Structure 1
């Protein structure tokens, strides 16, 4: 397939590289400019570790993950300005850096609250998703934040009595409580 003359941001060497018909295409959500560019690039690189390919193939396949405004940005790059994947990555990150998400810090965990009808299992999962992204998580503060975020009730009081000092112990205690709760729900359903 001939590339239109007005659309040549890739170097001649990259354009000349053929992608084999049976080459595995990375399964990456297309990037439209509204997501975190760093996360998109990380996802793409992880997929490329699986499927392999030369630097030229990486450039071509990465181009295929762009859509909407990002594809417009790409098509507006100067002719032959992308000579390798590192160049492409730097240009991409520089252009979409404003969308990069700020990683959460421990104090952000205090903003998480269990909703009125939210099951403990869902709150624990939501809390863990944020906690995993916190660099240098302060375990004791995470435990306090989790406790403060809980709805008041039976589990809240039981957790306080258990005096868990690490999130590992909190998770184990919560999972035990969740398993018991789910068992009771199944038992009631079977009785009806």
Structure 2
């Protein structure tokens, strides 16, 4: 009796010398001759094959449950806006400068759109003019009273802008809500 180890599931297979070796694994049903490989050629041929495949897909789409408009909304566009500036700007220097700025920041949030890091561009003060607080029945006073400051962050990849309360105003809001002035 000889033993063979299946390269797929790592199970030891014992086979009888009279019957001979197994062609397939009795456990996972994969061939025991070894792994199969797939060679992929990249180049002009792929573009032609892809065009042929897209034509076949267009014909198949006539019977599809999803319209082209539905599919357009589910496929995310390229959101890293920075990439389109690569030809006219030195993005290596840009990245180095961004890294230096990020090293100096106390807080380094991630962009909710593209997950790149955001840099603190500055702060904005919100005064009583132009700010209308929301009133809740659970509180006798607004959640936060002006004046307060917002930190403005800009994404280094897609240039999305986010704002959040400054550290002092966060503490002020937490103190106010933890007292629960209802």
TM-score range, shorter chain: under 0.3
Greater share of strand residues, 1 or 2? 2
Larger-gyration structure (1/2)? 2
| Structure richer in helix, relative to its length | 1
- Greater relative contact order, per chain length (Cα 8 Å cut-off, separation 6+): 1
